[in-house]
Amino acid sequence: MDSRYLRAFVTVAETGGISAAAERLGYAQSSLSAQLRRLEQELGVTVVVRTSTGASLTDAGRRLLPYAREALVIDERMRSAAAASRPRLRIGAPETLAGEWLPDIVTALDYGAGGPDADAEISVVVGPRERLAEQLAAGELDLAFHFDDGSRTAGPSAVVGHEDVVLVTGPAHPLAGAAEVTEADVLAAEFLVAEPGCSSAVLYDRLSRDLPARTRAATAAGSLPALRRLAAHGRGVALLPRLAVVRDLEDGGLVDLPMATPAGPVAIEARWRRDPGQAEPTLRAVLRLARRHTTQLPPPAALRRTPARTA
């Protein structure tokens, strides 16, 4: 028996009228009346009669009421049990990957690309690298993606792909028309980052370690969209994964500065809990889809670090 019919019946009994029950449930009166008629058709008896003051239960309705309430309690328990049995996979990623890379993987998973065992509820947390690492260590995340900054932490990990790194600015910036941006140009530039620990900050730190002196202090923009707007207005330069600015480069809002010494690709790394429980099949599927989705070739051997543990 449809639980909606029983809920309509119990609500009429509790409120004493069709209109009051319809208002509580958010139905039109005609819809609620139709549900009551279907219930009576299934039972073969009349359970509610309209009165001048509302609605009342018939003798059959009064006998039915305790069983209807019990059935609704059982129905709710069954739904809760079924929902609780579905595993949950909690994924963390920086703003760049969460907005421009991860959605394609999650969508592919929704369409069944992960296989029949990859059936878990996916939630995504966005944050800087250090915060995501803390959440992963605390068991608040099952899987985290980030751009490799050369650091090492305990736990299983794998490189799932590589992404080109570009130095960008707005068309009005003095460096925008340069045929080649030299090391001296980079040292003199005002760098833009979104926030400490974000992708732009990680890449900025990586580049500055490779230079003989620090570049000028980075300007925090607050978010990736704010960073892109500041760069587009020529307020500075930013070092970003190409996927974060591909549309801006295509429409001319940003320009790719030709560096004399290219920054080279950056690895996309995954880290995960040792025991993700029932979500493990989905976690493995996400890792497979991430490798398939990231088509960038590995960097040259001279730039390649020691391989991380694979899934």
Other C-beta atoms closer than 10 Å to the C-beta of 263 total 17
* Residue at which a domain ends, from 256, 282, 303: 256
Which has more pLDDT, 283 or 262?
Answer: 283
- Domain contains 306: no
**In a shared domain, residues 130 and 252:** no
Q: Say yes or no: 189 and 140 in one domain.
A: no
Q: Give the pLDDT of residue 67.
A: 93
For the beta carbon of residue 179, count every other beta carbon within 10 angstroms.
Answer: 6
For residue 48, tell me if it sits in a domain: yes
Q: Which residue has the tokens 């993700």?
A: 276
Residue 305 belongs to some domain of the structure: no
Q: Are residues 154 and 171 in the same domain?
A: no
Give the CATH number for residue 40: 1.10.10.10
**Backbone φ and ψ of 146, nearest 5°:** -160, 170
Q: Is residue 309 domain-resident? A: no
Same domain, yes or no, for 73 and 10?
A: yes
Whether 175 maps to a domain, the answer reads yes
Partners of 220 in the β-ladder: 193
From 12, 22, 24, 25, select the one nearest 51 (Cα to Cα).
Answer: 12
Shared domain for 150 and 191, answered yes or no, is: no
Q: Give the number of C-alpha atoms closer than 13 A to the C-alpha of residue 9, restricted to the C-beta side.
A: 31
Instruction: Look at residues 85, 115, 148 and tell me which one is the last residue of a structural domain.
Output: 85
Q: Would the pLDDT of 138 be above 90?
A: no
Domain that holds residue 155: 88-162+266-293
Co-location of 246 and 277 in the same domain: no
Flag whether 304 is in a domain. no
Q: Is the pLDDT of residue 209 over 70?
A: no
Among 114-128, 162-176, 191-205, 232-246, the least confident range: 191-205
DSSP secondary structure code for residue 259 in this structure: B
Q: The domain spanning residue 172 has which CATH number?
A: 3.40.190.10
Same domain? For 143 and 204 the reply is no
How many distinct structural domains can be found in the chain? Answer: 3
pLDDT tier for residue 296 given thresholds of 50, 70 and 90: very low
- In this structure, the answer to whether residues 79 and 95 fall within a common structural domain is no
| pLDDT value at 39 more than 90 | yes
Give φ, ψ of 169 to 5 degrees.
Answer: -160, -175
Residues 172-199 have a mean pLDDT of 83
Exposed, middle or buried by CB within 10 Å (0-12, 13-18, 19+), for 109? buried
Looking at the fold, whether 81 and 11 belong to one and the same domain comes out as: yes
- Helix 224-232 × helix 242-251 angle, to 10°: 40
- Shared domain for 115 and 233, answered yes or no, is no
Does one domain contain both 252 and 185? yes
- The token pair at 29 is 């009166």
Tokens of 239: 């070092």
- Average pLDDT of span 191-205: 76
Residue 157 CB partners (closer than 8 Å, separation 6+): 269, 270, 271, 272, 308, 309
Q: Are residues 80 and 101 part of one domain?
A: no
> pTM (2 decimals)?
0.63
Distance CA 287, CA 293 (A): 10
Comparing C-alpha atoms, which of 132, 134, 131, 149 is closest to residue 204?
149
Hey, how many other C-beta atoms are within 10 angstroms of the C-beta on 206? 18
**Which range, 73-82, 172-181, 190-199, 219-228, has the best average confidence (pLDDT)?**
172-181
Last residue of a domain, one of 50, 85, 120: 85
Q: What average pLDDT score do residues 278-298 get? A: 80
